[in-house]
Amino acid sequence: MVRRVAVIGAGPGGLASVKCCLDEGLEPTCFERSEDIGGVWLYTDSTDDRRVSVYRSVITNTSKEMSCFSDFPFPEDFPSYLPHSLLLEYFRMYARQFDLLRHIRFKTTALSVRKRPDFATSGQWEVVTETDNVHESHVFDAVMVCTGHYQEPYLPLDSFPGIDTRFKGQYLHSQEYKDVEAFRGKRVLVVGIGNTGGDLSVELSHVAAKVFLSARSNTWVASRVSNHGFPVDMVSNTRFQHFLSWLLPSALIRRIKFQKFNSWFNHANYGLASTKSSKFKVIINEELPFCLLSGTVVLKPSVKEFTENSAVFEDGTTEENIDVVLFATGYVFPFPFLEESVRSLFDDNRSLYKRVFPPLEKPTLAIIGLVQLTGSIMVAAEIQARWVTAIFAGWNKLPPLSRMMAEILKKKPPVKRNPSERENLKMSFISYTDEIAACAGIKPSVLRLLLTDPRLALAIFFGPCTPYQYRLVGRGAWSGARDAILTQWQRTLKPLRTRVVDDDSSSSSSWLWMCLLALPVGLTAGFLLSKHPRPGWGPAQGL
């Protein structure tokens, strides 16, 4: 019987894990190597300890209503997209509300997590920690690893001939970047066009003499702001749109997405992406198109090699007098504290059952938050933690090891990819959260709600798939979930009401008409799914 649980890391996943342990009557002890909660969102000017943290100007890519803990909405006066300081304040409010801090040991590093000799029968772990150079050994019934996927910078210097032998300028990983001052007046090459590479290119363009952005892959650029001014994830991450993506052919869905991206600006004209490519990534950046249009950022292909003061690109062009090369090439997650016999079981998150459990004879080790979704990682981490702690407490069970292994092998890609490629982790937000919620027995049924609470059913199916939906039923149900769902748009608009103007248009009435017109589609969907269920869908899981 699991009782004592070690939680490694006090970021958002670790905080949710501690709370979920307490909700299930377990005894968590969280080990956090820094002096505060927040994980990567705990900003620091220093890079000496190699701790990964956000840069000074970062703003969240997912909105507050789509990113909150499911039973703890953000304050209504918080903006929809948050700087790191406000997000950290929210974490502290959450920790105070549920009395989590007394379960966290700060400035304590987990050095090793190893199976006990009797693991096959007990499932217990020996955890060795270090605090102020003093080592201490502990025995726990279970371990939840909440260190995420921003652990160690991935710096593939071997892929860039000359960077560490001929190039006389400076090079660094984005993990070392904090603000623009060190780059003022310099010619900077940013390598990598993920969200970080795009953000840093835009920010540096305000002070650098010139910024070049090297992109290897087709990249579509999206804005946080939807056509009507709402947070884009609240408009796009709905069960209705998710159902249409399931219903329509994938080629048609891809074409619709490309047309949507190109309705903002033609990506081919900017050299970013082509509609003919089947492999692509999507980044969030409102300013990058204008920087490219104004020439303050210049897009380049992959780097072929470096000379003493220049970069040679795959298309044969050369940019001279490069002062700094900034690698935005992502991170790897080696979990150095796990013993090799455990670490070798998973080389990426696809080797974990449901992206959570390594295939062990006793399911007492869980990896929380090692997923990259088309939505908030915080939401997924909390749902994972609720499922995991319910298993530890004996309320849920996992299938036999052989069945778990079969599912892992079925979903594992045949070719090992570049460790920094986020596509290796990326999954549909609603698909994944619904999958874990169904395992935990906390996924709502839209069809059942349609009979008992039509207003709520319509809000769930046509409105944003906010985390409160997973507090309506099952263990941990929250009495405030219904109200939180029905008032989510008010909390979104509240921070904008600093100057009120008269407007006769009624967005709420138009939204209601849209729901009523689309209702037959939802009813037809429920009928079709009950007669012809497809994987991941059906009456057992709800729409």
Q: Encode pLDDT of 120-142 as tens digits.
A: 999 999 999 999 999 999 999 99
In this structure, the answer to whether residues 26 and 134 fall within a common structural domain is yes
pLDDT of residue 543: 36
In this structure, the answer to whether residues 315 and 371 fall within a common structural domain is no
Token couple for 380 = 């997924």
d(CA 523, CA 450): 9
User: Residue 34 domain-assigned?
Assistant: yes
In this structure, the answer to whether residues 368 and 303 fall within a common structural domain is no
Of 329, 364, 385, which residue sits at a domain end? 329
User: Residue 408 domain-assigned?
Assistant: yes
Of 371, 402, 430, which residue sits at a domain end? 430
Residue 152 has pLDDT above 70, yes or no: yes
Q: Encode pLDDT of 50-90 as tens digits.
A: 789 999 999 999 999 999 999 999 999 999 999 999 999 99
Residue 532 has pLDDT above 50, yes or no: no
Q: How many other β-carbons are positioned within 10 Å of the β-carbon of residue 173? A: 20
In this structure, the answer to whether residues 257 and 130 fall within a common structural domain is no
Q: Three-class SS of residue 474?
A: coil
- DSSP-derived pairing of the beta strands 311-313 and 303-306: antiparallel
pLDDT of residue 404: 95
Contact 298, 271 (CB under 8 A): no
Q: Encode pLDDT of 434-457 as tens digits.
A: 999 999 999 999 999 999 999 999
Which of 170, 166, 270 has the alpha carbon at shortest distance from 220?
Answer: 270
In this structure, the answer to whether residues 308 and 201 fall within a common structural domain is yes
In this structure, the answer to whether residues 121 and 213 fall within a common structural domain is no
User: Residue 459 domain-assigned?
Assistant: no
d(CA 165, CA 306): 9
Q: What's the full length of the chain, in residues?
A: 543
Whether the full predicted model's pTM is greater than 0.75, yes or no, is: yes
Q: What angle do CA 142, 370, 362 make, to 5 degrees?
A: 30
pLDDT of residue 417: 53
In this structure, the answer to whether residues 367 and 218 fall within a common structural domain is no
User: Residue 441 domain-assigned?
Assistant: no
In this structure, the answer to whether residues 304 and 159 fall within a common structural domain is yes
pLDDT of residue 510: 52
Residue 540 has pLDDT above 80, yes or no: no
User: Residue 438 domain-assigned?
Assistant: no
Kindly tell me the sign of the dihedral angle through the C-alpha atoms of 69, 72, 73, 78: negative
CA 277 to centroid of chain Cα atoms: 25
In this structure, the answer to whether residues 280 and 339 fall within a common structural domain is no
Residue-number span of the structural domain to which 46 is assigned: 4-151+333-414+422-430
Residue 1 has pLDDT above 80, yes or no: no
Q: How many other β-carbons are positioned within 10 Å of the β-carbon of residue 181? A: 7
Residue labelled with tokens 């909440």 = 146
pLDDT of residue 505: 58
Q: How far apart are the first and last CA of the chain?
A: 35
In this structure, the answer to whether residues 173 and 126 fall within a common structural domain is no
Count Cα neighbours of 10 within 13 Å in the Cβ-side half-sphere: 28
Share of the chain above pLDDT 90, in %: 82
Higher model confidence: residue 47 or residue 469?
469
Residue 278 has pLDDT above 90, yes or no: no
User: Residue 454 domain-assigned?
Assistant: no
In this structure, the answer to whether residues 175 and 303 fall within a common structural domain is yes
Q: Encode pLDDT of 306-365 as tens digits.
A: 999 999 999 999 999 999 999 999 999 889 999 999 998 876 667 899 999 999 999 999
Of 329, 356, 391, which residue sits at a domain end? 329
Alpha-carbon separation of residue 329 from 6, 197, 271, 528 (angstroms) = 31, 8, 20, 44
d(CA 260, CA 242): 16
User: Residue 378 domain-assigned?
Assistant: yes
pLDDT of residue 39: 96
Contact 384, 461 (CB under 8 A): no
User: Residue 285 domain-assigned?
Assistant: yes
d(CA 375, CA 377): 7
In this structure, the answer to whether residues 189 and 250 fall within a common structural domain is yes
Q: Report the domain count for the chain.
A: 2
pLDDT of residue 537: 42
CATH of residue 312? 3.50.50.60
